[in-house]
Amino acid sequence: MGVDLFFVLSGFLITGILADAKFKKNYFRSFYGRRVLRIFPLYYAVLVIVLLMFPLLGANTGVEHSSHIFFLTYTSNFYFAYTGWDANYLSHLWTLAIEEQFYLVWPLVVFFATSLERLRTGLLWAFISVTILRLILYFSGVGYTSLYLGTETHCDGLIIGGYLALSVRSLAQGALKGLRPNKLVAGILLIIGIFVLDEAAFFPAWDTHPVVPFLRNMIMLPLWAILFVWLIYAATLPSLINRIFSHNAMRWFGKYSYALYVLHLPIAFLVLHSQIYWLSTQPRIAELELFILYFGGSILSPFLSWHLYEKHFLKLKRFF
């Protein structure tokens, strides 16, 4: 669910940045320069470590050699969609592939749009069209993994996030209609979304029922996209949600969240594959010890990454 929140939030923030800069000088240079400085240094540093250094040290990262070019070019989501999606040190980077493809195309869309108001209306139709496309591909025999990892079939959140960004900037009457959440409906949608995601945890026999993968493909993603649009809109208004997400602790995590995402899976594999001789012989206690070690590493590594590495690249943003 965090992945889909990430997509909606990204669509909201990036579209807002582009809409505000649409008529300014150096539109493309500023956007791409700042994105490169924020994303590339850590991303490619992790690739160097996992793809080059770890194998030299004899570590088995589980990353197939044939996939290297896809990670280097931000197209790993397509690689996993057509070859299978197995957990390894870099398998979570498919989300950043979709994100980078969005960065490549979306500035052009906003820049060449003759009217941001018409673009805003068009995004609703685009949101519906993605669901229709998934429906067509599903009945054409395309598997769940491919539909989930494909940019063209998992851009609901990016699109509807962009719609929210243009709506809060719109002067049209009724532009914000429907964006303020109905708490009862939101609660029902959340329960349905979680159930569809992992109904096997509640009713294992249902996992083989053909209706379940249909719901997972057709219902889950647009449901979550709508839920997260409501959540993000509520967070922009004076509200309890706004106060929660404005808290210093939440802002602290927000500052390091990119590195936390990029590094958390390599940290998990390092913890699980290391020979830790002091672990308890009691399974439950050992699980707790591993969790503390993993959680601590997942927090410490982004903190160090930011202060020792990333922020030095970010100083160059002043040139963009």
Quick: pLDDT tens for 252-264.
Answer: 999 999 999 999 9
Tokens for 198, please give them.
């992992």
Looking at the fold, whether 42 and 153 belong to one and the same domain comes out as: yes
Give the DSSP per-residue string, 35-101: HHHHHHHHHHHHHIIIIIIHHHTT------GGGHHHHHTT-HHHHHHHH-----TTGGGHHHHHHHH
**Which residues does 235 contact at the CB level (< 8 Å), separation at least 6?**
241, 242, 245
Question: Within a 10 A sphere around the Cβ of 139, how many other Cβ atoms?
Answer: 9
Q: pLDDT tens digit string along 117-159?
A: 999 999 999 999 999 999 899 889 888 889 999 999 999 999 9
Looking at the fold, whether 264 and 233 belong to one and the same domain comes out as: no
Give the end of a domain, one of 246, 269, 291.
246
Looking at the fold, whether 141 and 279 belong to one and the same domain comes out as: no
Average pLDDT in the chain: 90
Give the end of a domain, one of 182, 217, 246.
246
Cβ atoms of 258 and 38 within 8 Å: the answer is yes
Looking at the fold, whether 108 and 73 belong to one and the same domain comes out as: yes
Kindly calculate the radius of gyration of the chain based on its CA atoms and give it in whole angstroms: 21
* Residue 162: pLDDT band with limits 50, 70, 90: very high
Tokens for 56, please give them.
């030299």
Check residues 66 and 272 and name the one with the higher pLDDT: 66
Looking at the fold, whether 232 and 182 belong to one and the same domain comes out as: yes
Q: Which pLDDT does position 95 carry in this prediction?
A: 96
Tokens for 180, please give them.
């303020």
Looking at the fold, whether 123 and 184 belong to one and the same domain comes out as: yes
Looking at the fold, whether 103 and 214 belong to one and the same domain comes out as: yes
- Ramachandran class of 87: left when φ > 0, alpha when ψ lies in -120 to 50, beta otherwise: beta
The helix (H) or strand (E) run that includes residue 54 is helix 54-56
**Which residues does 190 contact at the CB level (< 8 Å), separation at least 6?**
227
**Is pLDDT above 90 for 10?**
yes
The whole-angstrom separation of Cα 209 and Cα 282 is 38
Looking at the fold, whether 52 and 77 belong to one and the same domain comes out as: yes
Looking at the fold, whether 302 and 202 belong to one and the same domain comes out as: no
Per the listing, tokens 């057709």 go with 218
Q: Classify burial at 154, counting beta carbons within 10 Å of its beta carbon; exposed 0-12, middle 13-18, buried 19 or more.
A: buried
How many helices, marked H, and strands, marked E, lie in the chain? 16, 0
- Ramachandran class of 263: left when φ > 0, alpha when ψ lies in -120 to 50, beta otherwise: alpha
DSSP state of 22: T
Looking at the fold, whether 216 and 266 belong to one and the same domain comes out as: no
Cβ atoms of 310 and 42 within 8 Å: the answer is yes
Expressed in angstroms, the distance from the first to the final Cα of the chain is 33
**Is pLDDT above 80 for 214?**
no
Looking at the fold, whether 164 and 208 belong to one and the same domain comes out as: yes
Q: pLDDT tens digit string along 39-60?
A: 999 999 999 999 999 999 888 8
Count up the domains in the chain and report the number.
Answer: 2
Question: Within a 10 A sphere around the Cβ of 255, how many other Cβ atoms?
Answer: 14
Looking at the fold, whether 186 and 234 belong to one and the same domain comes out as: yes
Tokens for 146, please give them.
């491919």
Cβ atoms of 199 and 233 within 8 Å: the answer is no
Give the end of a domain, one of 195, 219, 246.
246
Check residues 205 and 66 and name the one with the higher pLDDT: 66
* Domain span including residue 236: 2-246
- The residue among 28, 4, 25, 31 whose CA lies nearest residue 194 is 4
Cβ atoms of 204 and 210 within 8 Å: the answer is no
